[in-house]
A and B are shown apart, each in its own frame.
Chain A
C-alpha cells in the first residue's frame, strides 16, 4: 500500500493561495490520491481526489505530477476557516474490495490574518 509524506505544518496569509505538497513515490497505477481536511476535532471532510489528471472543484485544485509520485493541493484564496489539518491519502482496496483510506499525520495549515 502506498504511503504518503507531508510536511507537518505550514502557514499561509489570508487571501493568498495555499499550496500543500504530498509525496507518494510508491503509488501504483490504479491508486487514487485523495485529500481530506479535519477542522478542530470534527470528522474529516472530503476535498478532492484524482488519478492522473489535474482536478478542480469549488473547494480546491489538485495537481498531480506526470510520474504520479507527488501532488499538490491548492486552496486558491485561503480564509481563516481553512485552518485545519490536511490529509493526503492514497486509496487502496481492502481484501473484500472496499476502498480503504490510510491516514497519516497530515499537514497542519494555519491561515494567518
Chain B
C-alpha cells in the first residue's frame, strides 16, 4: 500500500528560487494537509484542503501557495524561497473525521 507519497525526498535551493512539492495519496481521502517541522518543534499546519479545487490557510501560510486540482494530489509551492523556509515538510490526508495519514517528509534546505 503506497498511502501518502511525497516527492522529492530531499532538495537544496538557493534563496529566491521557486519549487513545488508534490503529495499524492491513493486512499481516496477528501482532506489533505501540508505541515512544516522545524528542529525540536512539533508540526505546524501550512495549508489544507477539504476537497478537489478547495484550499484554506493553516497556522503558518505566508510564503506558500497550494493547489488541489485533482483529488489525489496536493501541491505546495514556494514562489521565492527564503532561508527561513528551511524545514522538513510533511503531507497528510484523511477521510472525513478519520485519523490523518502522513507521508515520509521532504527535507528542504535553502541557502
Chains A and B belong together in one complex: yes
Number of A-B residue pairs at CB separation under 8 A: 61
Q: Chain A: interface secondary structure?
A: loop
Return the CB mask of B28-67 against A: 1 if under 8 Å, else 0: 0001010100001111110011100010101100000000
In the assembled complex, which residues on chain B have CB atoms less than 8 Å from the CB atom of A95?
A: 56
Return the CB mask of A74-113 against B: 1 if under 8 Å, else 0: 0000000000000100000011111111111110000000
In the assembled complex, which residues on chain A have CB atoms less than 8 Å from the CB atom of B45?
A: 100-102
B: contact size bracket:
20 to 34
A89 to chain B, nearest CB (A): 9
Which one of B13-21, B75-83, B101-109 contacts A? Answer: B101-109
Q: Contact check: which of B31, B49, B102 meets A99 at CB < 8 Å?
A: B31
Q: Give the top 5 A-B pairs by smallest Cβ distance, nearest first.
A: A43-B102, A103-B42, A46-B99, A103-B43, A96-B50
Taking A96-B56, A98-B50, A105-B42 as given, write out 10 further A-B residue pairs in contact, using a Cβ cutoff of 8 Å, ordered by the A residue number.
A41-B107, A42-B104, A43-B90, A97-B50, A98-B56, A99-B94, A99-B100, A100-B45, A103-B44, A105-B40
